[in-house]
C-alpha cells in the first residue's frame, strides 16, 4: 500500500477515497504529505466540473473518506463543504455518508433522517454504524437500530448462496459498529437489556435516560427501603439500624460480637443459620445492605447532584442499580419471621 501511495496513486480520480483512508490510518508524515498533495490535485480537477454521477466528488464514499482524512487546505475544505451540503439528497445511504462527512469536517449535523423505520439491509447496517460512531454528537436511539439489525441478521450469509452477502464496505461498517459497542457499550441499551426488577426499573428509568444518574440510584434506594419496611412490617425503625436488627446475625454483648439465635432474626436469607457457612452468607448480605444505604443513599440524600462526591457516570450508576436489584431479589426470596421477635 505504501509503495502504491508513493509511486502510483493519483493516476485515476477514483483513487481519492483509498488514498484518503490510507492517509487517515497512517502515522507516517511522508504518507500524509503525499496523500494531501494528490488528493488536493484530484479535488482541484473535479471541483468545478458538473457533478454528474461519474464525477468523483458526487460519490458519498469518496467525500466521506476525504473528510475523514481532513488534512486539506482551508480553501479545499471550503470547496468540499459546499459540495457536500448541496449533495445531501437521494437514498438514505447517500444521505448518511454525506452527513457523516459534514461531522468529520467539524460541521454541525443537519436534520438526521429517521433511522428506525428502514427495512433495507444496507440502510440498517449503515444507520447502525452512524449512531454508534456519532452517538456523542447525534442523539439517536441506539437500541432501536440494534433491534432492526437483530431482525435482519438471520438473512445475512458469508459466502453462501441462500441469503444476503455483505459487501466489503458494509462488513467494515458493521465491524466498526460492533467494535464500538463492545469497547464502550451504550448506557441506555445496557439499562434496557439488563433484567432489573420492574419496580426498580420503573422508578429509575426516567432519571437514568435523562442522564440524572444520582437521582436514578436515589429513587431505587427509596424503593428498596420501602420494600424492606413493607416486607418486615415494621414502621418505627429505619435504615441501617433496621437492617442490623432484622438481618445481621451478630450482636454486641459486653462489647463483644456474638452470634444471635436464628430465631432472633426476622429476615432469613438461607435455611442454614445453624451452620457457619449459612451465618457467613447471612452476615455478608446484611453488611451489603448496610453498605448500600451508607455508601449509596446517605451521600445522595444530603448533597446536591453536582457535588463531586455525588457525580457519577452511567456505568457506575448501573453498577449500583444492579447491586440494589440483587439485594431486592434476595429479600423477596428470604424467609420472613414474625416482627415481635425483635428485642
CA pair distance 226, 322, nearest whole angstrom? 17
My answer on whether 311 and 202 are in the same domain is yes
Among 138, 167, 184, residue at a domain's last position:
184
Average pLDDT for 3-15: 87
- Residue 214 and residue 87 share a domain: no
pLDDT at residue number 302:
53
Nearest to 114, CA basis, from 103, 130, 101: 130
Residue where a domain stops, chosen among 124, 154, 184: 184
Say what the pTM is.
Answer: 0.79
Residues 71 and 95 in one domain: yes
Final residue belonging to a domain, choices 184, 209, 226: 184
pLDDT at 174 over 80: yes
Task: Clarify whether residues 124 and 14 are in a common domain.
Answer: no
Contact assessment for residue 134 and residue 68, using Cβ atoms and an 8 Å cutoff: no
Do 154 and 276 share a structural domain? no
In the prediction, which pLDDT does 236 show?
A: 73
Could you list the residue range(s) of the whole structural domain that residue 22 is in? 1-112
Question: pLDDT tier at 340 (50, 70, 90 boundaries)?
Answer: very low
Shared domain check, 197 and 304: yes
Q: Say yes or no: 205 and 322 in one domain.
A: yes
Report the share of the chain in percent with pLDDT over 90: 65
Q: Which three cell numbers stand for residue 44?
A: 482541484
Between 65-74, 101-110, 192-201, 295-304, the lowest mean confidence (pLDDT) is in 295-304
Cα of 96 vs its chain's centroid, Å: 21
Check whether residue 337 and residue 287 sit in a common domain: yes
Which set of grid coordinates corresponds to residue 246?
Answer: 432484622
Give me the pLDDT at residue 183, please. 94
Give the other-Cβ count within 10 Å of 166's Cβ.
18
Relative to beta strand 256-259, strand 164-165 is unpaired
State whether 58 and 121 are in the same domain.
Answer: no
228 CB-contact burial (10 Å; exposed 0-12 / middle 13-18 / buried 19+): buried
Domain identity same for 207 and 320: yes
Same domain, 197 and 336: yes
How does pLDDT run across 262-304, given as a tens digit for each residue? 988 999 999 999 999 999 999 999 999 999 998 887 666 556 6
Helix or strand or coil: residue 257? strand
pLDDT at 341: 46
Q: Each residue of 12-67: pLDDT tens digit?
A: 989 999 999 999 999 999 999 999 999 999 999 998 887 787 899 999 999 999 99
Give how many domains the chain has, as a whole number. Answer: 3
Same domain, 207 and 178: no
Amino acid at each position: 500500500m505504501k509503495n502504491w501511495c508513493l509511486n502510483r496513486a493519483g493516476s485515476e480520480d477514483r483513487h481519492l477515497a483509498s488514498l484518503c483512508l490510507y492517509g487517515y490510518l497512517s502515522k507516517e508524515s511522508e504518507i500524509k504529505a503525499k496523500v494531501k498533495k494528490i488528493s488536493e490535485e484530484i479535488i482541484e480537477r473535479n471541483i468545478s466540473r458538473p457533478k454528474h454521477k461519474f464525477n468523483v466528488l458526487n460519490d458519498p464514499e469518496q467525500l466521506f473518506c476525504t473528510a475523514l482524512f481532513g488534512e486539506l487546505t482551508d480553501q479545499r475544505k471550503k470547496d468540499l463543504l459546499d459540495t457536500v451540503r448541496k449533495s445531501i439528497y437521494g437514498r438514505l445511504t447517500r444521505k448518511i455518508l454525506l452527513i457523516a462527512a459534514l461531522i468529520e469536517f467539524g460541521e454541525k449535523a443537519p436534520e438526521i433522517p429517521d433511522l428506525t423505520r428502514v427495512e433495507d439491509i444496507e440502510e440498517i447496517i449503515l444507520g447502525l454504524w452512524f449512531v454508534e460512531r456519532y452517538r456523542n454528537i447525534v442523539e439517536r436511539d441506539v437500541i432501536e437500530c440494534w433491534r432492526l439489525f437483530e431482525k435482519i441478521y438471520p438473512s445475512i450469509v458469508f459466502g453462501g448462496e441462500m441469503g444476503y452477502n455483505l459487501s466489503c464496505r458494509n462488513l467494515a461498517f458493521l465491524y466498526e459498529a460492533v467494535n464500538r459497542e463492545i469497547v464502550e457499550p451504550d448506557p441506555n441499551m445496557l439499562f434496557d437489556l439488563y433484567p432489573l426488577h420492574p419496580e426498580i426499573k420503573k422508578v429509575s428509568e426516567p432519571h437514568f435516560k435523562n442522564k440524572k444518574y444520582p437521582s436514578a440510584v436515589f429513587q431505587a434506594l427509596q424503593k428498596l427501603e420501602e420494600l424492606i419496611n413493607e416486607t418486615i412490617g415494621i414502621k418505627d425503625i429505619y435504615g441501617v439500624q433496621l437492617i442490623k436488627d432484622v438481618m445481621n446475625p451478630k450482636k454486641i454483648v459486653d462489647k463483644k460480637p456474638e452470634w444471635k439465635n436464628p430465631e432472633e432474626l426476622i429476615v432469613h436469607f438461607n435455611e442454614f443459620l445453624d451452620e457457619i457457612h449459612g451465618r457467613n452468607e447471612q452476615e455478608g448480605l446484611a453488611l451489603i445492605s448496610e453498605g448500600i444505604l451508607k455508601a449509596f443513599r446517605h451521600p445522595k440524600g444530603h448533597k446536591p447532584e453536582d457535588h463531586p462526591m455525588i457525580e457519577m457516570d452511567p456505568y457506575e450508576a448501573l453498577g449500583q442499580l444492579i447491586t440494589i436489584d440483587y439485594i431486592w431479589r434476595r429479600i423477596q426470596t428470604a424467609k420472613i419471621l414474625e416482627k415481635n421477635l425483635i428485642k
